[in-house]
Structure 1
């Protein structure tokens, strides 16, 4: 994406020592300014914006584009995109969303808003943890608070531990992107944030920091954020005195540590951090996603996560609704799959823990689609660049591999079958007009 390309361009200038920076700029400026071109009719403004953004990235390292003999024509000048926020519209939207909150969510929202708007200092704590299972409306609560704060002229930062979770949040970014956390975290890790940078200024202006899926992070990440915020805010208060709203569910994924024991996993969790005592836990109980007849299964999942279900030799009985006496494919797709209504077929899915199980079920489901089948085989070749003997890797071994995201050696297809088009290296698999 253009923003990542601009970051890469700045990194190359600072650390790559290119022999001709101006030629690099001329060759790739069309790609660097692509998003600005779509937003502005005037190409000169897009070019000036690109220049300004790259300059800001270089300023974090004490450099400018002029130092690399890359100059903007004087007639263009420097532009900065101004984000215009309609406070009244944001306030109305936030109030509409607030009305949709259940009693439990409203109680949480009232506590955070009272503190963020300076109306209350409930028990002196500025740190909250929204504890709720999936479906209890944590993301909707964050969005509601962000809109109300925008309506009051307050900025907020919304981050998540994973990229998938960040895409579900308004203006969401990953923790590593927002706070410049190192990829590998240790107890003495710190954020690569310059207090004089634009990112630090954004954090300084934020009234509240929302952090979703926080239980997935190790406690050393929380410690690094605490140190960074104290440095940016020049305050020894926890997190520099910022209002922190963390959310997640400890019943789900804890920090991933390779080959760690149960004790090591618990020791790396947020609850083992000395900073955990600074947080006021707010619990959400009502599942907002469950429809009629699904409440019982939702309650069963909660009991499973809490460890309240009876077990014999660590085995737990599944609810009858999770079991079937018939063939699984027949249960989901029927005995014959009619591709005339492809949308209905595409709305159903069978999840498998392993690739080999997926291939078996796919091939069985394919038999339920009428018509002849076509078999496509891959052509694999071993190329060794380190002097190894290619004969040590027989083709039969390559054919047996089914890595994630790659098609199998034998790809069986039919006209009308739902197929993901795969393109990876020299491997292509697809279905076009049954050929």
Structure 2
């Protein structure tokens, strides 16, 4: 597009994008760019608001959160919005704090998944429970520990690190009609050589048995700096 607008108006030659109006959309509180082997500063530097042309953009903020449940009263909607904007703090009740344990992860999992082995076949048990972690390293640490707690029901040769009866979460949209969307939680019921069978445990499709079809992923040796 370079040079197209400047043909009609020579003054556009000195403007970003030759004076053409460009609209960008996004939320910096959501997932940021992935810089391969990059540091925190590398990720910040790769963001559009670190570009030298960012000063030419007019930022318009969307203030209505359409994701809030319509059943919430206005006071609750405002509280959730303020929390998302970092304008309020949340005090965790004392009964939810673990302070006197020698093994914090063990105490946490025992608290959240009490009688785990007795409830492996109960989708409702996993639907009502979950452990949130602030970093991917913490997620992997918790997952590895939870894997040790769940007995292996069959000898799976799958490279996917999961077991039957384990709760998993989808990280992409696969089949919206059947409730297989980003954030959907499922319980693994069968592991095959090239497929995974599971039961949806959250949302309107809870209790539905599904066999998600994952698209083939092409692996290339030539990765850019923005490749995961």
TM-score, length of structure 1 as denominator length: 0.26
Structure with more relative contact order (C-alpha pairs < 8 Å, separation 6 or more): 2
Larger radius of gyration: 1
| Structure (1/2) with the larger helix percentage | 1
